[in-house]
Structure 1
Amino acid sequence: MSFDALETTLVWNNTLIECMEALGLFLLLGLVLVAVKRLILWRFTSVAEHTENDIDDTIIHVVRSLRMVVLIVIAFYVAVRTLNVPDSVMQGINMVFAVLLVYQVIRTIQIVIQEFFFQHVLRQKLGEDEKNTMAVGVIRTTTRGVLWLIGILFLAQNFGLDITSLVAGLGIGGIAVALALQNILSDLFSSFSIIFDKPFEVGDFIVVDDKTMGVVKNVGMKTTRLEALHGEEIVLANKEITASRIHNLKRMQKRRIVFQLSLPYVTPNAQLKKVSGIVEEIITRIEAAQFDRANLTSLADEYLVFEVVFYALTRDYATYRKINEEILLAVKERFEKEGIEFAHKTQTVRLERIS
């Protein structure tokens, strides 16, 4: 075929030379895109081996998600744009390119959310607990569904479809579903709040609104179950828990304990002055206790009142009771050695002879 023939033969109002130039551009751009992809993967793979952050790993996964067909379509689309193509054919090419572009954008967003948010942020915050993993799975599925819904609506609008009524229908339907499932959704979102914020965990002893107390046995998607002190199971809606005041006793670093010592008025002042020092000495000797104060605080009607305050350096209730018992027994023993007596409630009855 002569050169003149290449200039005069037309394909869709394009000479064969223009078609060959477009073909060359398609091949060159395809090779460049493949080379750039491999270069980025090589560069970031070598960097990722010496870093601890997740940014380079995320970039690697994003680049790897670029399928060969996507690169080919990009190169083909750019090459075809240099030619005179019938509107109907160009419209079809634009539709294919738009579908692949939306698909790749959604895949990229999913990878970024998965690698950075779910793996890095949520896993570090929530750990690998089965219930937490389930919550992360629910959020991941919901996020994926929302992204694809947005992508489909975007494509429908670009294809010339009227999505106004569809969006309005989805909005009305969403409101109706939300109203019908109001209580369930409220408990569901409350469970997410409990899982992410972690006001308590399984095994913690909590008090809800100063009335309900027990050990947390399970945090579900709708309810939280406690084991009460008497052994019965208490089931609370997650919505009620998040709206209540919660005391998490297991997270106490130390317990403040106050008790009183009652001494009779006949106790000599010399012995009264020893009481505070004796109590401080006893509490200081105990490793898991921290002395705060011991003072004569009241001159009651029948006896003298000393108030003792100390901290048990434990969050365990049974250990705290043992520490308290050890201190009380030591105080009694020391008072007996010092000859200090405790006050006893007495009642005087006067009998008068009637003549």
Structure 2
Amino acid sequence: MEFLQRYVESFGYDWLSNVLLITAGSFVLWLAWRVIYGRLEAITAKTQLAWDDLVIRALKTPVSTLIWVWPATVSVGLIVASHSDKDTIWLGKIDLILVITTFIWISLRLIQNVEEHVLEQKKRDETTVQAIAKVARLFFVTIGILTIMQALGLSLSGLLTFGGVGGLIVGLAAKDLLSNFFGGMMIYFDRPFKVGDWIRSPDRAIEGTVERIGWRMTIIRTFDKRPLYVPNSVFSNIVVENPSRMLNRRIYEKIGLRYDDGDKMEAIVDDVKIMLEGHKDIDSRQTLMVNFDAFGPSSLNFFIYTFTKTVNWARYHEVKQDVLLQVMGIIKSHGADIAYPTQTLKIDPVIMANDEAQSKHIIQP
């Protein structure tokens, strides 16, 4: 930095001319970078690998910014040196911080490009990719901050020693924030659910589709399209169901026949079971039961217990409807019918005759 400043001053121009000279040099260098970048972009476009394109795109804006800003610090040094006798060594530290910041900026852009590329391929789990990307960003940002502190002359050993005591204080003051952070880490590594899953909890009024898993909270879209923001620490203390990972969906129905159709119960149960075993949407490898179950108040009840092959909610109801319609057809084919609540009233004829005689005696004059 100092060498470049002395070299520019050796031309003997005033500070304004020197600044204009540096600006012109920056412009020429920027044009050269644009030409080089265009050439590199054309070369990488011809390759089958996508990673070289991601690296080139990550370099574009940070390098252009460095080409303009770094010479600008030289111009600032010339202006300060021409108007005062103050030392300009501090500008060298600014240049070092600028280089470190550019490196971190390139790293973050590269991580973002890789994340977007992997998610577009749809060959990896979205939640896992986002978790790795966030950890990578946190790593590079932390390294950058520590490097900048060291460049400014701060002692990292003293800073880490202070961090041990300060970390305890901060941890107590921000325990909720930390619990949410580690709750998010638990979700990323245990993976009880991922983005796009339908989840619900019997312990809390939580049910919907996961839209985003952040470091502090998870966003769930309920079925009436309301966003639900749940702190990650909540998932450490509740039971979470994930219906999206079901292998099958269950059909469990009780059907009642009239008592007058009791002699047809066995044949109906057998035919229903045969129908389910041959149904193309019923998984016969799972438990399949059709049995006479109970004597109801006004019906003879049998139950159906089986599982569909599909786990899609809409398709499941279509299969269930088809099964119930076929069961109704089987019952009708046997000349039976489905029972509905009825009551039978029996009247003693002797009591009825006495009531009629008493009513006639009362009516006579």
Provide Cα deviations, 1:46-103, integer angstroms capped at 9, x if missing partner.
144323321464268559849679999xxxxxxxxxxxxxxxxxxx99x95x976675
1:116-135 mapped onto 2 (5 Å cutoff): 117-121=111-115, 124-125=118-119
- Name the CA distance, whole Å, in 2 between partners of 1:155 and 1:135: 30
Instruction: Say if 2:309 is the partner of 1:316.
Output: no
Query: Secondary structure at 2:253's aligned position in 1?
Result: strand
- Name the CA distance, whole Å, in 2 between partners of 1:281 and 1:291: 12
1:44 to partner: Cα distance: 7.7
Provide Cα deviations, 1:114-162, integer angstroms capped at 9, x if missing partner.
31x32213663499xxxxxx999987885564233221233355xxx65
% identical equivalent positions? 18
Provide Cα deviations, 1:334-353, integer angstroms capped at 9, x if missing partner.
212212456789999999xx
Task: Quote the residue 2:176 is aligned against.
Answer: 183
Instruction: Say if 2:144 is the partner of 1:148.
Output: yes
Task: Quote the residue 1:108 is aligned against.
Answer: 103
1:276 to partner: Cα distance: 3.3
Q: Which amino acid aligns with 2:205?
A: T
- Name the CA distance, whole Å, in 2 between partners of 1:344 and 1:70: 84
Residue 68 and residue 254 in structure 1: after superposition, are their counterparts in 2 closer, same or farther (change >3 A)?
same
Residue 109 and residue 241 in structure 1: after superposition, are their counterparts in 2 closer, same or farther (change >3 A)?
same
Residue 331 and residue 58 in structure 1: after superposition, are their counterparts in 2 closer, same or farther (change >3 A)?
same
Residue 281 and residue 215 in structure 1: after superposition, are their counterparts in 2 closer, same or farther (change >3 A)?
same
- Name the CA distance, whole Å, in 2 between partners of 1:44 and 1:155: 34
* TM-score relative to the length of structure 1: 0.53
Contact 1:208 1:241 in 2 (8 A): no
Contact 1:45 1:60 in 2 (8 A): no
Of 266, 276, 282, which residue of structure 2 is paired with 1:290?
Answer: 282
1:247 to partner: Cα distance: 1.7
Residue 137 and residue 290 in structure 1: after superposition, are their counterparts in 2 closer, same or farther (change >3 A)?
closer
Q: Which amino acid aligns with 1:146?
A: T
- Name the CA distance, whole Å, in 1 between partners of 2:225 and 2:294: 41
Residue 251 and residue 298 in structure 1: after superposition, are their counterparts in 2 closer, same or farther (change >3 A)?
same
Contact 1:259 1:309 in 2 (8 A): no
Instruction: Say if 2:235 is the partner of 1:238.
Output: no
1:125-274 mapped onto 2 (5 Å cutoff): 125=119, 145-156=141-152, 162-191=155-184, 199-201=193-195, 205-209=198-202, 212-216=205-209, 222-224=216-218, 236-250=230-244, 252=246, 254-261=248-255, 267-268=262-263, 272-273=266-267
Contact 2:256 2:302 in 1 (8 A): yes
- Name the CA distance, whole Å, in 1 between partners of 2:345 and 2:181: 67
Residue 236 and residue 329 in structure 1: after superposition, are their counterparts in 2 closer, same or farther (change >3 A)?
same
Task: Quote the residue 2:334 is aligned against.
Answer: 338
Provide Cα deviations, 1:160-215, integer angstroms capped at 9, x if missing partner.
x655434433443343223211102322454576589582447x542225553422
